[in-house]
Structure 1
Amino acid sequence: MTSLQEIWARLDGTAAAVGLRPAYPPVALDLEQRVVSLVRCKPRRGRKALLEAHVQRRLDDPVLPDSIFQPAGKTTPDLVDRLRELFEAGGTRPGRVSLVLPDNLAKISILQLPERPASQRELDELVRSKMRRAVPFRLDDVMISYQVVPGTGSAVGVLVVLVHRAVVERLESTFEAFGARAGLIDLATPNLINLVRARIDRLGADGGDVALVNCAERYFSLVITRDGQVIFYRCKTFAASADGTPTPNGSLSREVAHSFAYYREKLGGEGIGAVLLRSTSLPNEEVVRHLAGLECERIEPIRLEHNIELADGVQLDNDAAQRLAPAIGAAIARGG
Structure 2
Amino acid sequence: MRSIDSPSWISRALGFGPISVPPVAVAVTRHELALAVFRRGSDGLELRELQRVPLPEETFGGGALGGPVGNAAALGAAARTLLERVSGRPHHLSVVLPDAWVRGMIVELGELPEQPGLALEILRFRLRRLVPFRIDELRIAATPIERLSGQEEPVRALALLAAEGVCAAIEHAFAAAGARVGQIVGASLARLEGMAAGGRLPGLTAVAAVESEGFTLLFARDGAPVLWRQKTFSGGLSDEDRARLLAAELRLTRTFLAERLGGEALSSALLAAPATVQPFWERVLAEGLGRPVTVLTADHLPLAEVPPAPGLELLAPLAGATCREVTP
- Structure 2 partner of 1:28: 25
For residue 197 of structure 1, report the CA deviation from its aligned partner.
0.9
SS in structure 1 at match of 2:271:
strand
Tell me the percent identity.
24
Deviations 1:28-85 (A, max 9, x none): 00001113211001113x4312210112344341533445456423334322222333
Secondary structure in 1 matching 2:12: helix
Alignment of 1:145-294 (within 5 A): 145-152=141-148, 155-198=154-197, 202=201, 204=203, 209-241=204-236, 249-268=239-258, 270=263, 271-280=265-274, 282-291=276-285, 292-294=287-289
**Compared CA separation, residues 39 and 118, structure 1 to 2 (3 A):** closer
> In structure 2, what is the Cα distance between the partners aligned to 1:59 and 1:70?
14
Moved over 4 A (4+): 118-126, 198-203
Give the one of 301, 305, 308 matched to 1:316.
308
Deviation at 1:265, TM superposition (A): 2.1
Q: Which residue of 2 aligns with 1:244?
A: none
Distance of 2:182 and 2:105 partners within structure 1: 24
Cα 1:88–1:251 shift into 2, 3 Å: farther
CA contact (8 A) 1:97 1:184 kept: yes
Matched, 1:77 2:76: no
Partner AA of 1:301 in structure 2: L
Output the amino acid matched with 2:100.
N
Tell me the residue number matched to 1:325: 316
d(CA) in 2 for partners of 1:64, 1:232 = 30
Shift in Å at residue 219 of structure 1? Answer: 2.5
Q: Is the 8 A contact 2:201 2:223 kept in 1?
A: no
* In structure 2, distance between residues paired with 1:81 and 1:125: 36
Taking the aligned partners of 1:261 and 1:305, their CA distance within structure 2 comes to: 26
Which 5+ residue runs of structure 1 have no aligned equivalent? 242-246
1:64-143 maps to which residues of 2 (within 5 A)? 64-66=60-62, 68=64, 71-112=67-108, 116-117=110-111, 119-120=113-114, 124=120, 126-143=122-139
Unaligned runs of 5+ in 2: none
Q: Matched residue of 1:296: which SS? A: coil
Q: TM-score, normalised by structure 2?
A: 0.82
Taking the aligned partners of 1:199 and 1:297, their CA distance within structure 2 comes to 24
RMSD: 3.0
Letter in 1 for 2:242: L
Q: Kindly indicate whether the alpha-carbon contact (under 8 Å) linking 1:276 and 1:302 is maintained by their aligned counterparts in 2.
A: no
1:67–1:237 Cα contact (<8 Å) kept: no
In 2, the alpha carbon distance for the partners of 1:36 and 1:149 equals 32
Aligned CA distance change for structure 1 residues 256 and 296 (closer, same or farther; 3 Å): farther
1:39/1:331 contact within 8 Å kept = no
Asked if 1 retains the 8 angstrom alpha-carbon contact of 2:53 and 2:81, the reply is no
Cα distance in structure 2, aligned partners of 1:330 and 1:303:
15
Q: Deviations over 1:261-292 (max 9, x none)?
A: 22222232635442112113743212212322
CA shift for structure 1 position 326: 0.5
What is the Cα deviation at residue 327 of structure 1?
A: 0.8
Separation (CA, whole Å) in 1 of partners of 2:274 and 2:300: 18
**Is the contact between residue 4 and residue 183 of structure 2 (CA under 8 Å) also seen in structure 1?**
yes
- Distance in 1 (CA, whole Å) between partners of 2:254 and 2:189 is 23
Shift of 1:92: 4.7
CA distance in 2, matches of 1:290, 1:67: 28
Give the AA of the match of 2:268. A
- Taking structure 1 as the reference length, what is the TM-score of the superposition? 0.81
Shift of 1:316: 0.6
The whole-number CA distance in structure 2 between the counterparts of 1:56 and 1:307 is 22
